[in-house]
Structure 1
Amino acid sequence: MQQTPPQSLPRVIGPWIATAVIIGTVIGSGVFKKGRNVADNVPEFGLIMAVWVLGGLLALLGALALAEVAVLFPRAGGNYVFLREGYGRCAGFLWGWVDFWILRAASIAALATMFTESFHDVLKQSIAPGQKVDVLSFWPRQLLTTLVIGGLTVVNVRGTRLSGGVQFAITILKVASLLFLITAPFVVLAVASEPTHPPQVSHLSPAVPSNLFGINWSGFGVALVGVLWAYNGWMNIAPIAEEVKEPQRNIPRSLLLAVFTLIALYCGANLAYHLVLPRDQIVAKDANGHLSSTPVATEFCGELLGPVGVVLASAIVMTSVFGALNGNLLVGPRLLYAMGRDRLAPPAFARLHPQYHTPALATLAMAGWSVLLVLCVGALTQYQVPTVPLGFAELDLNVPRGKSPFDIMTDFVIFGSVTFETLAVASIFVFRWKYPATPGNRAYRCWGYPVVPALYVLIMALVLVNFFVNPESRTEALVGLGFIASGGVVYALFFGTRRA
C-alpha cells in the first residue's frame, strides 16, 4: 500500500516577519524582571553589564553556527530535526519530550501569567491608586490567564500569515517601548527644570573588582542563567524554517539581525535602570527575604514619571509578554507537527487544517497543556497538599508562599533548554563530517568555524556545570535530568524497536 506523502507547511513568512518572530518571542519578561536577580548575584555594575553582554554574545555565537544547520535542514521542528539528523531518533524524541512537557508549555504558562499580573496592576492603579488591594482575586486572574491563551490559540489556528502579522505589529510596539525606556532618563533630565530624581552616575558601582579572582563566579553563573532566560528563544526561527520564504538567504539574515537588535536593546535598558535606580532599590526584598516581584521597569518608570509611569510600565510589560506568548504559540506546535510526521507523537498532530493550513490539533494540544499547567501551579501556590511518603524519605509538594507561579515555572525551563540547545549548536560538527562542504552545497557557512561553535559549547558546558555546583539551582538540574531520563524510558518502551 502506497503511503500518502506528508503535507508540507506553506512558505508564507518573509524576512521581516521571521525577524519579528525571533525578537517578539525573546523579548517577553526577562528584560523587565531578571534585572533584580542579576543585580542580587553580581554587585558591581560593570559585571552586571558584562553578564548581559555575555548572554548576548553567547546567543550571537550560537546564531552564527545554528544558521548553517537551519539552512541545511529548513524543516518544521527546529532542534528536533537537528538532533534527530545529527544524533539519532532518540535524541530528537528527548528534545520533543522535554520541550512539550516542560520548556515550551512552562514558557507559555509563565508569560500568560505575567500578562495577567501586569493587566491586574493596570486595573489597580486605575481603580484604587496607591492602595494594596486586589481588584481581581487569585482564581479570576487564573481564569483570565487561560482565556488569553485560548484567544491567541484561535489566532494561530486561523493562519500563519495572520499570527505572523500580529507578531510583527506587537514586535514594533515592543522595540518602541524599550527605546522609550532607554531614552527616558535623558529626556526627563532635558525637559525638567528641576527633576525630582535625575539620573545619577553615582548609582553605578565600580566596573569590576580590583582582583578578578575575587569574583564570585558561582553568583556570576546564577546571574547568567537569569540572563539566558531573557535571551531564551533566539533559536525560534528554526521550528518555522519550513514556512520561511527563500530560507537559504532569509534564515541567516533574520537570525543575526534579531540577535544584534536584542543585545542593543537589553544592554541599553539595563544601563537606563542603573542610571536611575540605586542598586539597593533594584534588589529590594520583602519581609521573607524574597526579591520583590515588581518588574524593575515598573519602579524605573515610577521613579521618573510617578503614578503615570507605573501604569505605563505595566502596559509595556503586558504588551511585551503578549507578543512573546503569541510567538511561542506560533512556534511551539511545529515541534508536535514534525514529531507526528515521524510517528514519534500521535500522527494526528501532523494533519493540517483543511482551510487554514496550520497544525491546528498540535496547536490545541500545546495550548491545552499550558492551561492545565497554569491551573496546577496556581493550585500548588494556594493550597497545602500532603507530603508523599517514598519509604526512605518524604516528597514535599508544597510551594513556598513567597514564590510566585511565574518564578516556579521559569525555574525549570533553562536547564533543559541549555542542554539541548547546546547539543543542537554542536550538531554543526556532525553535519560538517557527514556532509562535507563542496562548492555550492551550502548557501551559508558559519563564520569563524570551528572556533565559534566550539566556544559556544564550552561556555554553555560551564553553565551546566554551575547548575550542579550552586545549591540554588541544583534541584532544578536534578529534576531536569530525571525528566530527561524518564523520556528515555518512554522512548525505549514505545519507540525503541520501531524502524525509522
Structure 2
Amino acid sequence: MDTSTSFKPSLRLIDATMLVAGSMIGSGIFIVSADITRNVGSAGWLLFVWLITGFMTLTAALSYGELSAMFPKAGGQYVYLKEAYNPLVGFLYGWSFFTVIQTATIAAVGVAFAKFTAYLIPQLSETLVAIDLGFIAISPAQLLSILVIVLLTFINTRGVNSGKIVQTIFTMAKLLSLLALIVFGLFAIKTSVWTSNWHNAWTMHSLKPDGSMASYTALAALGAIASAMVGSIFSSDSWNNVTFIAGEVKNPKRNIGLSLALGTVIVTVIYILTNIMYTGVLSLHDIAIADKDRVGVTASQQIFGNWGTIIIALLIMVSTFGCNNGLIMSGARVYYSMAKDRLFFKRVGMLNKNSVPGFGLWLQCIFACLWSLSGKYGDLLDMISFVVVVFYVLTIIGIFILRKKMPDAERPYKAFGYPVLPLIYIIMGLAFCLLLIIYKPTYTWPGLIIVMAGIPVYFLIGSVKEKTGADPPII
C-alpha cells in the first residue's frame, strides 16, 4: 500500500476558521427556533436560549484553545481526554463519536440537504419510495444523502487541499447568504409583529400549536430552558472539529485557538441576528407552528414572497453541503488517533498517498450511509446532545487536571478567563445535564447506554492485546 508517514500542514487560519464556522452551520438555525419557542413562549426567552448557548460555546472554544496549543496533533478532544484522565475516557469519547455523534450527524445533515433539494426537485421527496426491499423502504432523499456523503468522502480522500477548497468556498457562500437573508429580513420587519412579539418579552410559558399557553413553576421553567437548549446546542455543535485536524493546520499552537474563537463568534452573532429577524417578520405563533418546524422557509416566504421557498432551499443546500464536508474531513482524524493507540482497526491509522486517513474516511462513510438508511439518526441526535455536553464538561475539567498534572508543560495559549469562565461553563453544563435528566429523561438514557456500551468493548480490545499482543483486526 502506498502510504505517507505524516500529515501535511496545509490549512491556513482562514481555512481553519471556515472549518469551525462551516461545521457549526447546517440546517439547525432554520428549524430549531420553532421548538425553542414552543418551550419558552416569548421573544426575550427565545433570544436568551441562543445567547446562553452562544456564551457556553464561546467559553468552551476559548478554553479548548489551551488544550489545542498543548497537544497540536490529530485527534483533538479524544487526545485531551486521554491525557487528562486515562485511555478509557478517551476511548469512550472516540467510541461515541464514531458510533453516533459524528456519523449520525453526517447522515442527518445529508438528509437535510436532500429534503431541501426536494423543494426544487419534488421527485427527490422523502415521502416517496425509490427502492422497496420489503424490510426497508428507501426514499429518493435517502439515496441523494448517500450520494452526497460518498462524493464528499471521495473529495476528502484526494487530500486535505481538496477538502479545504470545498470547505472555504461553501462556508463563505453560506455566511454571505445568511447575512443577506438577515439584512433583507430586517428591512422587511413588520412593526405590528415586532411590537406584539416583544410585549411581555420576558414572560415564560409553553406555547401550544393551537395558540394556548401554559405557565411554569420556577423549577419547571429551568427545565423548559434546558429542553429548549437541546436544539440550540445541537445547532451550535461541531465547533471543535478543527481540533481533530490540528496536524494539518499551519502553526497550530496559534491558529487552532484563534480559529476556534473567530469561528464561534461569527456563528453566534449570525444566530442571534437571525432570530432577531425571525421575531420581526413572524409572530411567535407562526414560529411555533411552522410547517415541519421549518421557520427559515416561513420567514423567507414573508420576506421574498413566492421566491422565498426557492431562496431558502438553495441557502440550506449550500449550508448543509459545506457543513457535511467539514464533518467528513475532520471526523476520520479521531479514528486515526485511536488506531495509533491500538484501540481501533490498524488500517484506520494509516495515511494514503495523499497524506489523509483514506480508510478511516471510507469506514466513516459506510456508517454514515447506514444511518441515512435507518431514518433513526434524528432521534439519536436529540438524545446525544446530553452526551456531547457531558464530554465537553469533562474536557474543560481536564484543563484544571492538566494544570496540576503537567504544571511545566508548554502552554503557548492559556484558557481565557481561567479559572472563572471555565468554571462557569462547568456549572452551566452540569446544570443543563441535570435538568435534562429530571425533565427530559428520554434525551439522556439512550446516549448514556451508547457511551457505556463502549466499556466492555475497550476491555475486550485490551484483553485481546494482552493475550495475543495484536492490534484490533486488520481489515
**TM-score past 0.5 threshold:** yes
Over the matched positions of the two proteins, sequence identity in percent amounts to: 29
Structure-2 residue corresponding to 1:389:
none
Contact 2:222–2:435 (Cα < 8 Å) also in 1 = no
Larger deviation, residues 408-417 vs 57-66? 408-417
Could you state the TM-score of these two structures normalised by the residue count of structure 2?
0.89
Structure-2 separation of matches of 1:37 and 1:118 = 19
Partner of 2:207: none
- In the other structure, the counterpart of 2:203 is 209
Query: Shift of residue 178 of structure 1?
Result: 1.3
SS across alignment from 1:169: helix
CA shift at 1:459, angstroms? 0.6
Shift of 1:214: 8.0
> Is the 1:36–1:296 Cα contact (8 Å) retained in structure 2?
yes
- The match for 2:265 among 238, 260, 264 is 260
Within-5 A mapping of 1:140-219? 140-188=140-188, 200-209=194-203, 213=218, 216-219=221-224
Distance (whole Å) between structure 2 residues aligned to residue 89 and residue 184 of structure 1? 50
Contact 2:230 2:382 in 1 (8 A): no
Quick one: which of 245, 250, 257 aligns to 1:240? 245
1:43 offset after TM fit, Å?
A: 0.8
Indicate conservation of the 8 Å contact 2:4/2:352, yes or no: no
Q: Superposed, which structure 2 residues align to 1:43-192 within 5 Å?
A: 43-124=41-122, 139-188=139-188
* Correspondences of 1:20-39 after superposition (within 5 Å): 20-39=18-37
* Per-residue CA distance 1:60-93 (angstroms, 9 max, x = gap): 1111211001110011111110111111111111
**Separation in structure 1 between the aligned mates of residue 63 and residue 217 of structure 2, nearest angstrom:** 30
* Structure 2 gap segments, 5+ residues each: 131-137, 205-215, 470-475
CA displacement at 1:135 relative to structure 2: 7.7
- CA distance in 1 between counterparts of 2:120 and 2:195 reads 31
1:158-185 CA-to-partner distances (Å, cap 9, x unmatched) read: 1111111110011111111211121113
Shift of the 481–413 alpha-carbon distance from structure 1 to 2, 3 Å rule, reads closer
Aligned counterpart for 2:459 among listed residues 492, 496, 499: 492
The Cα offsets for residues 368-412 of structure 1, whole Å up to 9 and x where unpaired, read as 1000111122xxxxxxxxxxxxxxxxxxxxxxxxxxx56324223
Unaligned ranges ≥5, structure 1: 190-194, 286-291, 378-404
What is the CA deviation profile of residues 300-348 of structure 1, one whole-angstrom value per residue up to 9, with x for unaligned ones? 0111212211110111111111111110000110011111111100111
CA distance in 2, matches of 1:442, 1:133: 49
Structural mapping, 1:469-488, within 5 Å = 469-470=438-439, 473-488=440-455
Residue number in structure 2 paired with 1:270: 275
**CA distance in structure 2 between the partners assigned to 1:363 and 1:406 by the alignment:** 19
Stretch deviating more after TM superposition (455-464 or 210-219): 210-219
CA contact 2:4–2:351 (8 Å) conserved in 1: no
2:278–2:299 Cα contact (<8 Å) kept = yes
Residues 1:453 and 2:458 are matched in the alignment = no
Query: Which one of 382, 385, 408 corresponds to residue 411 of structure 1?
Result: 382
Residue among 285, 295, 317 paired with 1:280: 285
Equivalent residue pairs, number = 447
Distance apart, 1:477 and its partner CA = 1.0
Letter in 2 for 1:207: A
TM-score (norm 1): 0.84
In structure 2, do the counterparts of structure 1 residues 40 and 496 end up closer, same or farther at CA, with 3 Å as the change threshold?
Answer: farther
